Copies of this chain bind each other. A is one copy, B any other.
């Protein structure tokens, strides 16, 4: 872990390659923030009369705060003290003690607020790039929820062949975000639609539908996870969302063709709901979101696949040991560890790339 002080940053500067380019998730026309080929990020924020401007990077991308220095032109500029992990990171800017977003960057919902995002180039970024291939659609749906007395929002990815083959039916993956995120996370910062489009174009997977909705149904007050109860969300998902999706999309509406996956808190939800509802889902995936043990699963014959993953900077031993135990107990279990990533979206993008080819095999 690097110190965030200016002193350290200057010490490190001798090694920084000056090939900085605008981050790919900047707002249109914005030059900053920038990233270089080593994974350093450089920020520039206009605030001519401010006394202090500090950039705070979230979680696994954190190298501490980056204090910016004021230039003659009223712009504050600074470079991270060290390179960041590949992939997407949340961040925000503290200006004179107030927390704001970087006007140069696009915003992404995380930490129960819309935060700035930055994309560090990755050696494997091709798999989530926007390419000249057929693209699926991401549909915003508003489905009726009696249990919460409102219309709730979800996003539905339909593969490119969905709108072409008007009589074909597709299996469905229900995919959950993490704590502090919402139903926009997987297609915005996760780029799951592009990952799917690319895998389908390469013939690596059988096309399926993905449904993403908000998993913090019981309105926990943007604080700890301790007060979270699964029942309200389980009701929304199983009794309201799934029937809506099966009525409004051409799904294969049965247990063998329905999977559930989630990252972090969404993994916790997946774990509980799949065990509670063995006749609803046949394939389960936890991405940085805990493990299954053989003893938890009552009817082994109903489970077609268990996938468990995390980043190498998390607890890969636990994941691998759990999958070993599941295999020994006769389950079709697969582990995946994302190299040199932490509890962040690069881990989960890669996890989806690894999971998708395993789903809905005949």
Give A contacts to B, CB under 8 Å.
27-29, 45-52, 74, 95-101, 103, 106-107, 112-114, 130-132, 135, 137-144, 150-151, 156, 163-164, 166, 187, 193, 197, 221-222, 247-250
Contact B139 A139, beta carbon cutoff 8 Å: yes
Q: How far is the CA of A250 from the CA of B130 in the complex (A)?
A: 26
Contact (Cβ within 8 A) B101 A101:
yes
Q: Which residue of B lies closest to A47 (CB)?
A: B98
Residues of B within 8 A of A49 (CB): 51-52, 96-97
Q: Which 4 A-B pairs have the closest CB atoms?
A: A47-B98, A48-B97, A135-B142, A49-B96
Stoichiometry (number of copies): 2
Q: How far is the CA of A50 from the CA of B103 in the complex (A)?
A: 18
Contact, CB under 8 Å: A97 / B132: no
With A49-B52, A51-B49, A135-B141 given, is the CB distance from A106 to B114 under 8 Å? yes
Q: Which one, B98, B132, B164, contacts A248 given CB within 8 A?
A: B164
Complex Cα spacing A107 to B166, Å: 37
Contact of A45 among B27, B45, B98, B140 (CB under 8 A): B98
A141 pairs with B130, CB closer than 8 A: no
When distances are taken between beta carbons in the complex, the residues of chain B under 8 Å from A98 are 45-48, 50, 95, 103
Beyond known contacts A29-B221, A95-B98: 13 more, CB 8 A cutoff: A28-B113, A47-B96, A50-B97, A95-B95, A99-B103, A103-B113, A107-B107, A130-B150, A132-B144, A135-B141, A137-B139, A138-B139, A140-B193
